[in-house]
């Protein structure tokens, strides 16, 4: 098999043209010419292009640029207009930026650009600078694979290439003197230090300095992944990185004492620097000529669709679980994002929470078992992010304490899921008759996990290799996959199916072995190079259908070397150390796959990359969105011209996406600033004002008209408005500037209508519960015995497909849920069931112990502790509720007690010191103009503070009704005691009817269906009915009623029916 390359992909051609068109007007120079020192530099030449300091007369054949700055700037503007990119006001460097999403053919594009530049302008000398040996090997392999393809496109052109290292510096002479296309490939580490041999005199070159010869050719430098090559993020306020200095030089050049340092400071004297990456730092996008970002690539299906497999496990509830997800600084406050088990409505939910230093986790989770865990310190130092609880527990990012499965068991589960998904993909292709080889890539952080060596130096399977073969053999014989293997023994297939690619040590006197290494020195680079040679030499073979190796284990440090189009599964078995690992890891499998003939097979129906993640999908998606937002320059609370300009939309159904463009983006930005919706803070950057938040929340006509005036296209307006909504964070309802005090209206408190209402509801009561303990025990035992059998604790693999990626984030659908057997580390640890149930049910430990024992269901507790506790809580509280119906009695507090014990004082209204918040997310009812509505004509409170949309609608309806004489949202201190805890009813209302006034107390709920209420809620509402019935009967008040309602219509029904 050989790879077939397509020459006419529109997006790749656009990227090539964006570079070549920069030099329009340049003469075509294809012959041999002399490179001379320029004695009097031309003032109109670009900075860094003069040759005055070279001090050489003739060195060979080089590039020569004859264009002046103003011509190149005009060409740049033309290119940027075509792509909808912002103009550069002036040309301050020869650096040009090309942004291409991983997997879209970046290497193909810049290699073909070399041929185009030679064809059009005669340029011959090119240097490709890469961040690692991995990418160096990849470029070398791509040149070999593409040679025949390019020779067909460019007859007569032949490209000669070599990789620079300390042992082949003599090759630099032929690079400098050849008249053909010469390409030198080098890592940043080989040129960014004064001690590198390329900056030293070399005897084989007649004691010339190799870099001087390279510099004399005035090469076009191609920087692959500049954010890694340069060693800095492009921030002009920071020191230049060593890689940037090696390429661009230091201005002015520092006169160091050594020849090497002087040479390094001069840079490469490039004719132009072309920077290619998917993730350029935001400070380092000067002279952007082409953009194909992650959103555009996903939208156009130029890369694989992503799905994420995450393992969901069940807690036993025995130990406090804490996992560190992230550390961050918010202003002066240090916070940790933790995954913990939170009690929500008598059930345990695993949630991510942001916790500041000094917080006790019991306060966050509502669970007593976290009482001894207080967050004492947080570190946000890059590479050392961690938290500490007391003196005993310290967690690094993604470490956990109290986890229900061990690290080894999670690794086994992830390897098994990778195998299952791999075999399903093979099965899918076989059924469809597609000859497509399926590869799976598993990243580990240590060679020893895959390969170990015995005392004789012989290789033995490491832990993960052993697990792989065990799981493969087990899964292969299951009914789902048995048809794939025929008569081949599963264990034999398993042994042949995997291979490890790691750095290789070939030290003298030792057998070859795999080793952990880095590329910080010559030996490490040589060892890594051997691994990449092996990877790249096997690239075609690995992709050929029928070859045995289908599962590849490799070191996480070597991941940049993997760019095989037929990787369909990626499993990350390592600890995720950096925030950018998701994009880096999935980037290894994003390329569109090829079939057995080496032809690309497009379409999401075939191209789907499954990431077997070591975290929940929610956390994976949230962090991936952050990485994408950072790459796209999206920052909540800020708008930018660039952010609007790079938005894409389809002007017509079926049309190709086009960018909104710089001109429209700038007009919109200026309109938002003029309307004071945003406050400019820099060039093309502005801070969102609260007025924009309020306009977005209210979907105001003014904002829609402003956007429509600046953005003519309806499809473009849609994506612009969606981005604005994403960037605009809601106003913090606790912001002091939006706090509104709620005054008490004295005349309403003293009105006859309110006084009559108060005389009916001010009475306090006390309750008694007559419960036969034997009857309670029997009811609980019966409820527990009626519980369905508890499922065994298992793991669940959930597969979530990412349907769409845009400026609004990731939209996804759960496609598969699969239960699997898991060995739980805490299977013998059981929670204190009596303490938990006593807290949740308010029953004594003795009562509960007897009921649990008599029910005979404790075997279910051992099978699945947390599920049993949750179900038992519901059953016991339900049984209690039934007993309340027959056993609960309320009576007015005895007259012998003090007045304050017998009646609520009217002063509770004034003492409430009520306040609320306006604006989006506010809890004070406001009109369309955002101004609080006044209720003082009917309510003793001028404004109404509510807890829900149901309460808001109910209050507005009461305000509008003519028959409502007065009403009040009862203050929080109006408390009715119940056996299930204190209860605060919502509303007290007086309704006028022809035959007299009705006095009502309402509880507003989203639904009045009893089945939708929690047992405690139902119990408290029943107790409230008993309380008000006691008042009505004792004081002979037939006009007083209590009811739960969900709207004013329901309330009307209650009023009419209750008084018939």
DSSP of 344-369: ETTEEEEEEEEEETT-BHHHHH--GG
Confirm if 116 and 16 have CB atoms less than 8 A apart. Answer: yes
Report pLDDT for 406. 85
Preceding amide of 133 cis, omega within 30: no
442 vs 436: CA distance, rounded Å: 20
- The number of angstroms, rounded, from the C-alpha of 540 to the middle of its chain's C-alpha atoms is 34
Task: Please check the confidence at residue 525 and state whether its pLDDT lies above 60.
Answer: no
| Average pLDDT of the residues in 982-994 | 92
- DSSP structural state of residue 174: H
Token pair listed for 122: 């005669």
- DSSP structural state of residue 606: T
Task: Provide φ and ψ at 441, rounded to 5°.
Answer: -120, 125
Q: CB under 8 Å to 712, separation ≥6 — which residues?
A: 664
Task: Please check the confidence at residue 895 and state whether its pLDDT lies above 70.
Answer: yes
Confirm if 987 and 1004 have CB atoms less than 8 A apart. Answer: yes
Packing angle, helices 845-855 and 833-841, rounded to 10: 110
Q: CB under 8 Å to 226, separation ≥6 — which residues?
A: 275, 276, 277, 280, 284
Task: Please check the confidence at residue 1058 and state whether its pLDDT lies above 70.
Answer: no
Q: Give the containing element (helix H, strand E) for 939.
A: none
Looking at 1.20.1440, 3.40.50, 3.30.200, 1.10.287, the CATH number of the domain 407-626 comes to 3.40.50
Where do the structural domains in the chain lie, given as residue ranges?
40-292, 319-401, 407-626, 634-727, 741-764+893-1058, 767-824+832-891
More confident: 287 or 525: 287
Token pair listed for 336: 């940790």
CB atoms within 10 A of CB 654: 5
| Average pLDDT of the residues in 371-380 | 90
939 vs 949: CA distance, rounded Å: 19
User: pLDDT band at 44, cuts 50/70/90?
Assistant: very low
271 vs 123: CA distance, rounded Å: 10
Report pLDDT for 202. 85
Longest dimension (CA), the chain: 117
Q: Whose structure tokens read 């099965």? A: 427
866 vs 266: CA distance, rounded Å: 67
Span 913-955, pLDDT tens digits: 788 887 666 789 988 777 889 999 999 999 999 988 899 999 9
553 vs 343: CA distance, rounded Å: 40
User: pLDDT band at 505, cuts 50/70/90?
Assistant: low
User: pLDDT band at 560, cuts 50/70/90?
Assistant: low
Packing angle, helices 701-710 and 714-727, rounded to 10: 130
Report pLDDT for 862. 87
805 vs 628: CA distance, rounded Å: 10
CA distances to 155, 479, 867 from 743, in Å:
87, 72, 48
What's the order of all strands across the beta sheet hosting 996-1004? 964-969, 987-993, 996-1004, 1040-1045
Report pLDDT for 502. 72
| Average pLDDT of the residues in 149-153 | 95
Q: What percent of the chain has pLDDT over 90?
A: 38
Helix (H, G, I), strand (E, B) or coil at 125: strand
Q: Give the containing element (helix H, strand E) for 232.
A: none
Confirm if 768 and 884 have CB atoms less than 8 A apart. Answer: no
Task: Please check the confidence at residue 851 and state whether its pLDDT lies above 90.
Answer: yes
Q: Give the containing element (helix H, strand E) for 72.
A: helix 69-83
661 vs 680: CA distance, rounded Å: 20
Q: Give the containing element (helix H, strand E) for 214.
A: helix 210-216
- Alpha helices for 513-616 (secondary structure H): 522-537, 539-543, 581-586
Confirm if 945 and 923 have CB atoms less than 8 A apart. Answer: yes
Second-level CATH architecture of 741-764+893-1058: 3-Layer(aba) Sandwich (3.40)
924-949 in b/e burial notation, b at 16+ Cβ within 10 A?
A: bbbeeeeebebbeebbbbbbbbbeee
Domains 40-292 and 407-626 fall in the same CATH topology: yes
User: pLDDT band at 15, cuts 50/70/90?
Assistant: very high
Span 620-677, pLDDT tens digits: 766 776 666 666 666 667 788 887 887 778 788 777 778 888 889 899 999 999 999 9
Span 731-742, pLDDT tens digits: 333 333 367 889
Confirm if 933 and 961 have CB atoms less than 8 A apart. Answer: no
Q: Whose structure tokens read 């007015």? A: 892
User: What is the CB-side half-sphere exposure of residue 474 using CA atoms within 13 A?
Assistant: 14
User: Which burial class, exposed, middle or buried, applies to 437 when counting CB atoms under 10 A from its CB (0-12, 13-18, 19+)?
Assistant: buried
Report pLDDT for 325. 87
Confirm if 673 and 644 have CB atoms less than 8 A apart. Answer: no
Confirm if 321 and 401 have CB atoms less than 8 A apart. Answer: yes
- The number of angstroms, rounded, from the C-alpha of 776 to the middle of its chain's C-alpha atoms is 50
Span 687-704, pLDDT tens digits: 888 888 888 877 888 999
Hey, which bits of 293-430 come out as E strands?
Answer: 305-312, 322-330, 333-344, 347-356, 375-379, 386-389, 393-396, 400-401
37 vs 50: CA distance, rounded Å: 8
Packing angle, helices 865-887 and 833-841, rounded to 10: 30
Confirm if 950 and 774 have CB atoms less than 8 A apart. Answer: no
Q: Whose structure tokens read 């497509």? A: 436
Report pLDDT for 250. 66
Q: What is the mean pLDDT of the chain?
A: 83
Length of the chain: 1060
Hey, which bits of 409-519 come out as E strands?
Answer: 439-444, 451-453, 459-461, 498-501, 503-505, 513-515
Helix (H, G, I), strand (E, B) or coil at 382: coil
Confirm if 300 and 342 have CB atoms less than 8 A apart. Answer: no
Hey, which bits of 613-726 come out as E strands?
Answer: 638-640, 648-649, 658-659, 678-682, 685-688
Span 590-621, pLDDT tens digits: 888 999 888 889 888 899 989 898 877 677 76
More confident: 837 or 165: 837
Number of H helices, E strands in the chain: 35, 39
Task: Provide φ and ψ at 151, rounded to 5°.
Answer: -65, -30
218 vs 373: CA distance, rounded Å: 63
Report pLDDT for 121. 94
Looking at 3.40.50.300, 3.40.50.2300, 3.30.950.10, 3.40.640.10, the CATH number of the domain 40-292 comes to 3.40.50.300
Token pair listed for 734: 């606790």
Confirm if 35 and 59 have CB atoms less than 8 A apart. Answer: yes
Task: Provide φ and ψ at 1024, rounded to 5°.
Answer: -65, -40
731 vs 742: CA distance, rounded Å: 20
132 vs 519: CA distance, rounded Å: 7
| Average pLDDT of the residues in 755-773 | 91
Q: CB under 8 Å to 726, separation ≥6 — which residues?
A: 634, 636, 807, 808, 809
Report pLDDT for 237. 73
Task: Please check the confidence at residue 527 and state whether its pLDDT lies above 70.
Answer: no
Confirm if 148 and 3 have CB atoms less than 8 A apart. Answer: no
Nearest to 634 by CA among 723, 715, 730, 719: 723
Q: What angle do CA 274, 276, 281 make, to 5 degrees?
A: 105
- DSSP structural state of residue 457: S
CA torsion angle 132 134 139 142 (round to 10) = -170
């Amino acid at each position: 098999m050989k790879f077939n390359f397509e020459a006419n992909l529109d997006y790749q051609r656009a990227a090539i043209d964006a570079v070549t068109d920069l030099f329009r007007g340049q003469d075509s120079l294809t012959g041999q010419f002399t490179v001379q020192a320029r004695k009097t530099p031309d003032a109109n030449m670009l900075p860094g292009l003069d040759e005055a300091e070279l001090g050489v007369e003739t060195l060979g054949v080089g590039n020569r640029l004859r264009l002046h700055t103003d011509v190149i700037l005009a060409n740049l503007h033309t290119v940027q207009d075509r792509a909808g990119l912002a103009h550069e006001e002036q040309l301050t460097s020869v650096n040009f930026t090309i942004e291409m999403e991983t997997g879209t053919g970046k290497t193909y594009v810049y290699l073909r650009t070399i041929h185009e530049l030679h064809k059009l302008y005669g340029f011959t000398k090119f240097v490709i600078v890469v961040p690692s040996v991995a990418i160096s090997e990849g470029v070398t392999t791509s040149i070999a694979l593409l040679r025949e393809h390019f020779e067909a496109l460019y007859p007569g052109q032949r490209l000669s290439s070599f990789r620079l290292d300390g042992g082949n510096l003599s090759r630099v002479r032929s690079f400098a003197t050849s008249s053909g296309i010469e390409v030198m490939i080098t890592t940043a580490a080989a040129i960014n230090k004064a001690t590198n041999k390329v900056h030293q005199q070399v005897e084989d070159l007649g004691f010339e300095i190799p870099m001087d010869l390279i510099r004399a050719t005035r090469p076009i430098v191609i920087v692959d992944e500049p954010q890694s090559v340069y060693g800095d993020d492009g921030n002009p306020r920071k020191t230049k990185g060593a890689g940037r200095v090696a390429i661009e030089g230091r201005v002015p050049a520092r006169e160091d004492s050594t020849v090497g340092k002087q040479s390094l400071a001069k840079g490469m004297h490039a004719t132009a620097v072309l920077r290619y990456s998917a993730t350029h730092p935001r400070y380092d996008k000067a002279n952007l000529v082409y953009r194909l970002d992650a959103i555009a690539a996903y939208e156009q299906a130029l890369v694989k669709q992503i799905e994420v497999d995450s393992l969901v496990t069940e807690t036993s509830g025995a130990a406090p679980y804490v996992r560190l997800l992230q550390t961050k600084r918010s202003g002066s406050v240090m916070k940790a994002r933790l995954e913990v088990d939170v009690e929500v409505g008598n059930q345990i939910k695993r949630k991510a929470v942001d916790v500041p230093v000094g917080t006790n986790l019991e306060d966050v989770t509502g669970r007593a078992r976290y009482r001894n865990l207080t967050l004492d310190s947080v570190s946000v130092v890059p590479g050392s992010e961690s938290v500490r609880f007391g003196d005993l527990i310290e967690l690094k990012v993604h470490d956990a304490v109290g986890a229900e499965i061990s690290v080894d068991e999670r690794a086994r589960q992830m390897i098994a899921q990778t195998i299952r998904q791999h075999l399903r993909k093979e099965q899918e292709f076989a059924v469809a008759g597609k000859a497509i080889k399926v590869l799976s890539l598993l990243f580990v952080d240590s060679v020893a996990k895959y390969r170990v060596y015995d005392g004789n130096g012989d290789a033995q399977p490491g832990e993960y290799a052993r697990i792989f073969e065990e799981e493969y053999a087990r899964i292969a014989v299951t009914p789902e996959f048995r048809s794939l293997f025929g008569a081949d023994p599963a264990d034999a297939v398993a042994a042949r199916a995997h291979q490890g690619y790691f750095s290789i040590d070939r030290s003298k006197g030792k057998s070859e072995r795999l080793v952990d290494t880095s590329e910080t020195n010559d030996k490490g680079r040589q060892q890594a190079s051997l691994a990449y040679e092996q990877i790249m030499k096997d690239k075609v073979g690995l992709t050929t259908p029928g070859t045995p190796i289908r599962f590849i284990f490799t070191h996480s440090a070597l991941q940049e070397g993997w760019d095989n189009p037929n990787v369909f599964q990626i499993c990350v078995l390592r600890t995720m150390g950096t925030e950018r690992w998701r994009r880096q890891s999935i980037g290894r499998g994003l390329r569109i796959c090829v079939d057995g003939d080496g032809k690309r097979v497009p379409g999401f129906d075939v191209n789907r990359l499954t990431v077997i993640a070591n975290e929940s999908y929610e956390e994976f998606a949230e962090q991936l969105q952050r990485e994408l937002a950072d790459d796209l320059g999206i920052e909540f609370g800020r708008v930018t011209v660039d952010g609007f300009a790079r938005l894409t939309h389809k002007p017509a159904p079926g049309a190709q996406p086009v960018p909104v463009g710089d001109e429209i983006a700038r007009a919109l930005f200026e309109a938002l600033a003029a309307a004071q919706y945003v406050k400019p803070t820099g060039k093309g950057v502005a801070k969102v004002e609260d007025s924009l938040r309020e306009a977005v929340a209210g979907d105001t006509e003014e904002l829609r008209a402003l956007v429509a005036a600046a953005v003519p296209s309806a499809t473009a307006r849609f994506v612009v408005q969606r981005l604005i909504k994403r960037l605009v964070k809601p106003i913090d309802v606790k912001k002091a500037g939006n706090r509104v005090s709620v005054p008490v209206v004295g005349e309403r408190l003293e009105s006859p209508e309110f006084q009559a209402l108060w005389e009916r509801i001010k009475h306090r009561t006390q309750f008694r519960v007559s419960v036969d303990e034997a009857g309670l025990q029997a009811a609980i035992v019966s409820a527990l015995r009626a519980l369905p059998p508890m499922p065994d604790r298992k793991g669940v693999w959930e597969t979530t497909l990412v349907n769409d990626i845009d400026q609004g984030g990731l939209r996804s659908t759960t496609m598969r849920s699969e239960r699997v057997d898991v060995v739980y580390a805490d299977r013998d640890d059981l929670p204190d069931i009596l303490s938990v149930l006593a807290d949740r049910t308010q029953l004594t430990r003795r009562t509960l112990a007897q009921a649990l024992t008599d029910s005979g269901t404790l075997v279910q507790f051992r099978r699945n502790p947390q599920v049993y506790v949750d179900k038992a809580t519901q059953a016991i509280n339900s049984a209690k509720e039934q007993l309340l119906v027959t056993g609960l009695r309320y009576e007015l507090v005895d007259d012998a007690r003090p007045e304050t014990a017998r009646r609520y004082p009217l002063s509770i209204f004034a003492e409430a010191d009520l306040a609320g918040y306006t604006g989006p997310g506010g809890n004070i009812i406001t009109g369309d103009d955002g101004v609080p509505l006044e209720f003082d004509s009917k309510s003793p409170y001028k404004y109404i503070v509510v807890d829900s949309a149901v309460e808001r609608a109910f209050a507005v309806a009461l305000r509008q009704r003519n028959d409502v004489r007065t009403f009040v949202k009862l203050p929080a201190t109006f408390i009715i005691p119940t056996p299930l805890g204190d209860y605060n009813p919502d509303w007290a209302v007086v309704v006028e009817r022809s035959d007299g006034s009705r006095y009502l107390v309402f509880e507003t709920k989203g639904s009045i269906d009893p089945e939708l209420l929690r047992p405690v809620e139902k119990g408290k509402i029943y107790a409230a009915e008993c309380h008000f019935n006691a008042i009505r009967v004792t004081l002979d008040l037939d006009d007083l009623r209590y009811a739960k309602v969900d709207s004013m219509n329901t309330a009307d029904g209650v009023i009419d029916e209750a008084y018939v």
